[in-house]
Amino acid sequence: MKLGFFLREAVRAVRRSAAPSFAALATVLVTMLVLGVFIPIVQATDGAADTVRGRVEVDVYMQTSAGAADEVRVRRELLAVPHVHSVQFVSKQQAYAQQSKADPQAYELLGANPLPDTFHVIPDNPANVLAVRNALTPSGHTIDPAVQSVSDRRDDTRKILEVTNLVTITAAALTVLLTIASILLIANTIRLSLYSRRREVEVMKLVGASDWFIRWPFVIEGVVVGAAGALLAIAVLGVTKVALLDPLANNWTLIAAPRTIPFTALIVVLLVAGVAVSALGSGLSLRRFLRV
Amino acid sequence: MAVSSKITAPMHRAGRPAADPASAPSGPRSMIEFRGVSKLYAGDVGLDQATFTVRRGEFVFLVGATGSGKSTLMRLLIKELEPTDGTIRVAGHDLQEITRRRVPYFRRNIGVVFQDFKLLPSRTVYDNVAYALQVTGGSRKEIRAKVPDILRLTGLSTKLHNLPHQLSGGEQQRVSIARAFVNHPPLLLADEPTGNLDPETSIDIMRLLYRINRTGTTVMVATHDQTMVDKMRRRVLELSRGRVVRDEAAGRYARDESTRDLARRLRAPSAPPPGVQ
């Protein structure tokens, strides 16, 4: 009976102030869309960065003049370094074959093979990659005269992390701004509703309605608007996912990245966020404009 | 609700209207008690050391020029305002001791009627009255039982499904009285209830208020209508610049009379009231 009364009052109010309700609904919709798109994307890029970070190894490049004897000696020296799990040798011919397959035209232009022999040194534990690298380049020199340079994948990792951070920060900033806009627009809707129903509020106070009895219809009105926005966003995301992403998922590993949020969880997150945002907006207006 | 239990305990109504307002009432027999109540608005005086008592079941007029403090007094009574100084007791409750949270439950014991009716324009007569019960948590059954009853008492049985703008001013005021009285509060406050109405309609409204008074409800009416006050011959409290300057029965205090007699007397041309030389 009571809940029914509140719902009827809220729906009545939404219908009466259709324009501001629609503006608030649209903003919540956009906010939830952005949130719904960025959560998986941020997770996917994070996952990509993790993959690169997980591929930790130290590359040891030989002098181009190094011969087979050097190779054997260096391999022995590398295996003697603490924390080295295994060593993989890629000869310059193998490297050339690999790279020229990836970009045949560029390597045809080069004519000669510019690539050195390479050892991929894999540490026993990814955390020890730095220790291994330092052991291979004691005091600025390389471990063996036949070794030209030593590098790890930190640069690659750093680049990917930079991109990921940029995406995350942009998404977070956008979400924060849109959330603020949503809250303010919901607050405005409720404020207008309060204004158009000031008579009801006055009468309710006069006949002795309790504070929360007066507040609930407005809170519900805001939440109805917010939840409607979130539901629409979920519908749009769902249609997009089924129509566009699912057919591509086999070709594009990023979408199928196992670490992205499952769709049902995303629905729950968006609904909760939508309702929370609208409850906040309603509360803001009620605090400021409803003196009960 | 536990919170409300203390305040919602019924304030018992006196069985009959008070016979003699001159005797000094005190204790639980008084409905309203003002003790040195002052209200200052940023330098302006709203009410100045007002002290008076209204007994249960009395019918009291509150007169005075605009700005004399009538509305301030009414708003203090429903705890819409806090006094700057002094104590107000309603049905034995010290208003100062009622917390903000309990104010709504306190207000359920007071019916309030205004000059501008304060009806909800988009709801029918029935819904306007039912609304008062709905928002105070009345059950459907209670609403179905009480609303037709009160509408019959106020003579609105044929207007149930009309909207307020389809009614005359007098009828609208009846609806607002019905809404104020549907819970049968022991105290009814009316702020200029006839301010917008013609004399004949005013008489009907006064008759209705008197009928409510005869059920044992204490009624306090603030008004400008001097002739009405003179003819009704009830207790009169006059305010001037926030002070109570007169507290007496106008003419000979009219005793327990029927509403029909009252109306007949009110309609009579202003001859000197019987019993006054």
DSSP sequence for B38-54: EEEETTEEEEEEEEEEE
Same domain for A144 and A164: no
pLDDT score at B107: 92
Q: Give the one of A5, A199, A211 whose C-beta lies nearest to B118's C-beta.
A: A199
Which one of A102, A137, A152 terminates a domain?
Answer: A152
DSSP alpha helix (H) spans, chain A? 2-16, 18-54, 68-80, 92-102, 104-110, 129-136, 154-196, 198-207, 211-240, 246-248, 263-289
- Closest-CA distance, A272 to chain B, in angstroms, reads 29
Q: Give the per-residue pLDDT at B16.
A: 44
Residue A249's pLDDT is 65
Q: Do A210 and B105 touch (CB under 8 A)?
A: yes
Mean pLDDT, residues B67-88: 91
**Measured between alpha carbons, how far is residue B196 from residues A93, A182, B113, B169, B200 in Å?**
106, 45, 13, 7, 12
Residues B85 and B47: their CA atoms lie apart, in Å, by 10
CB contact under 8 A, A207 and B136: yes
The answer on A231 and A131 residing in a single domain is no
* A–B interface: beta-carbon pairs under 8 A: 52
The residue of A3, A198, A202, A207 whose CB has the most chain B CBs within 10 angstroms, and thus the best one to mutate to test that interface, is A207
Q: Minimum mean pLDDT among B25-34, B50-59, B97-106, B189-198: which range?
A: B25-34
Res. B64: pLDDT tops 80: yes
Average pLDDT of the segment spanning B227-236? 85
Residues of A in contact with B104 (CB under 8 A): 205, 208-211, 213
Residue B87 phi, psi (nearest 5):
-120, 140
Residue A289 tokens, joined: 């404009």
Name the least confident of A136-140, A272-276, B189-193: A136-140
ipTM score for this prediction: 0.73
Which tens digit of pLDDT belongs to each residue from A121-174? 888 876 677 777 778 777 666 777 788 888 766 666 677 677 777 877 888 888
What CATH number should be reported for the domain holding residue A83? 3.30.70.3040
The residue extents of the domains of chain B are 119-184
Contact B140 A5 (CB under 8 A): no
Nearest to A5 among B120, B134, B179 (CB): B134
Is A254 in the same domain as A117? no
Block residue for tokens 């002290």: B51
pLDDT of residue B15 exceeding 50, the answer is no
* Stretch B21-30: mean pLDDT: 52
Same domain, A279 and A237: yes
Q: What is the pLDDT at residue B189?
A: 95
* The pLDDT value given to residue A257: 53
Residue with tokens 């000979």: B252
Domain total in chain A: 2
DSSP state of B1: -
pTM higher than 0.80: no
Domain termination residue (choose one: A96, A131, A152): A152
Question: What is the band of B167 on the pLDDT scale with cuts at 50, 70, 90?
Answer: very high
Given this model, what pLDDT does residue B271 score? 53
pLDDT at B24 over 60: no
Which structural domain, as residue segments, surrounds residue A260?
Answer: 2-52+158-289
Same structural domain, A8 and A90: no
**Same domain membership, residue A278 and residue A202:** yes
Q: Is B19 helix (H, G, I), strand (E, B) or coil?
A: coil
A82-109 pLDDT per residue, tens: 888 888 888 888 888 877 777 777 777 7
Whether residues A74 and A211 share a domain: the answer is: no
Distance CA B30, CA B91 (A): 6
Is there a single domain that holds both residue A123 and residue A72?
yes
Same domain, A144 and A164: no
What is the average per-residue pLDDT within B5-33? 52
CA of B163 vs chain A CAs: smallest distance (Å): 15
Å from A50 to nearest chain B CA?
Answer: 55
Which of A206, A211, A213, A216 to probe the B interface (max B CBs under 10 A)?
A: A206
Q: Looking at the structure, do residues A190 and A111 belong to the same domain, yes or no?
A: no
For A200-255, how does the pLDDT look when each residue is reduced to its tens digit (9 = 90+)?
888 888 888 888 888 888 888 888 889 999 999 999 998 988 888 777 766 655 44
Does residue A192 sit in the same domain as residue A269?
A: yes
Q: Within 10 Å of residue B175's Cβ, how many Cβ atoms? A: 24
Q: Residue A127 gets which letter from DSSP?
A: G
Residues 6+ apart with CB under 8 A from B154: B174, B175, B177, B178, B181, B208
Q: Are residues A64 and A98 in the same domain?
A: yes
H/E stretch holding B76: helix B70-77
* pLDDT for residue B9 is more than 70: no
